[in-house]
Amino acid sequence: MSKDRFFLSRRLLAFLLISGAAAAVSRPLAGEEAVFAPFVSRLKAEVKNSLLRLSWIDSQDARGPVYIYRSTRPFTESGETALLNPVTVPYGVQSYVDEPDLSRSVYYFVAASDESGRRYKIFIPNSNVVVFGHSGETGRETGIFGLEAKTDGAGVILSWRTSAVSRVPILYRSAKPLRATQDLLSALVVKTGPVPPFIDYPVPGIPCYYAVVFEDELAGGVVEIIPGANATVEAVEVRSETDAAGTGEMRSIPLPLISSSNGPRAPVPVSPEMSKAVPDIRTERTILPPRKPRAFREDLQAPAGGEESVIRAIVQGPFSGRDWETSRTELTRYLSLPREGRHEARAHFYLAQAWYFSGNYREALVEFLAVQPVYPQEANEWIEDTLSRLID
């Protein structure tokens, strides 16, 4: 057992003994002593489009509904929840979407209950209690400061300092300024665990802003963006090859650049055999055979509860019926709310196919590129096909 888990276990045990929570005791299980854990775990908060999504893992020992408490103050005593009106969520759902005031810090506590409705108000930070902080209010240091971005040829050199070298940083890039936590939703994850100085290679000609946050703060919903500290204030832009060379006649690799510095060469006469073969050369572009819609095996099974049921209903409904317009509408609506990573990636993959079969290959390409890090093999096949259809 690691030192962190050891101290967490001791803190939890001390809490149970001091508070006198009679229900949180050991009980026998298959001839052994098993810890009775009537509380949810891995509570996370994610924000998208001004909505906040909570997700957690239900307790195996308390199978009644869970109660979600929201406050503008930290949860320290069970009596504080008496004045709050909780939201009830059935056991097994394990997620809830809220629309709080994100201009200030918001605290959440998810309490488990047994089948008789008895609530277990046991506060465990980073397990069933989470805070979504606002950078302008808390003034808390991010642990990352002095983030700088400088162009160097085709790349951008990023450097920063940190007071927590053992924590895992995540580097974001965006075409828009990153001033608040919500701005990370439209940003691209460049690298997880980069070591400064780090070189990024963005698309030339597009201004870029960067931010660095810690992975554990992102998972706990307590990320703060402070421009000038862990986020760049001014944009950097890499010049394209044509801009750098001052000419638009440069061909990109692998086509060679033909030099004419030695002057024009005399024409070489074509042989009679070549003259006869030229008319037989076909000039039309090869058209790839049409692809068939693809669905993951798990989405062809019987609908389950929670987010799984929504995706499966779309796949087995309008998507399988090749109603691409309805598929796009329902998938876009599904993605308008914060979703768990793998569910969101699958939804983007189906949305990309809906655009593809509608003939909008540019939109399809953007979606396929978005899911490439999660499903590289599947996405690469579609990307190659889509690119071939974008060529005039």
Res 34 pLDDT > 60? no
Of 130-144, 233-247, 256-270, 272-286, which one has max mean pLDDT? Answer: 233-247
Res 270 pLDDT > 80? no
Give the residue, 188 or 147, on which the prediction is more confident: 147
Q: Among 35-44, 226-235, 278-287, 290-299, where is mean pLDDT lowest? A: 278-287
Quickly tell me which residue has 């929201």 as its tokens: 70
| pLDDT per residue as tens digits for the range 46-66 | 777 678 889 999 999 999 999
Residues in the chain: 392
Give the residue, 82 or 16, on which the prediction is more confident: 82
Kindly provide the b/e burial profile for residues 190-222, where b requires at least 16 CB atoms within 10 angstroms of the residue's own CB: beeebebebebebeeeeebbbbbbbeebbbbbb
Rg from Cα positions in the chain: 28
Its pTM stands at: 0.39
Res 281 pLDDT > 80? no
Give the residue, 93 or 260, on which the prediction is more confident: 93
Give dist(CA 296, CA 342) in Å, integer.
Answer: 12
pLDDT at 219: 73
Count CA within 13 A, CB hemisphere, residue 41.
6
Q: Give the domains, in start order, of the chain with CATH numbers.
A: 26-132 (2.60.40.10), 138-220 (2.60.40), 297-390 (1.25.40)
Q: Among 127-141, 240-254, 293-307, where is mean pLDDT lowest? A: 240-254
Q: What is the mean pLDDT of residues 317-330?
A: 91
Give the residue, 15 or 362, on which the prediction is more confident: 362
| pLDDT per residue as tens digits for the range 181-216 | 878 877 888 888 898 999 988 877 788 999 999 988
Give the residue, 71 or 112, on which the prediction is more confident: 112
Mean residue pLDDT across the chain:
75
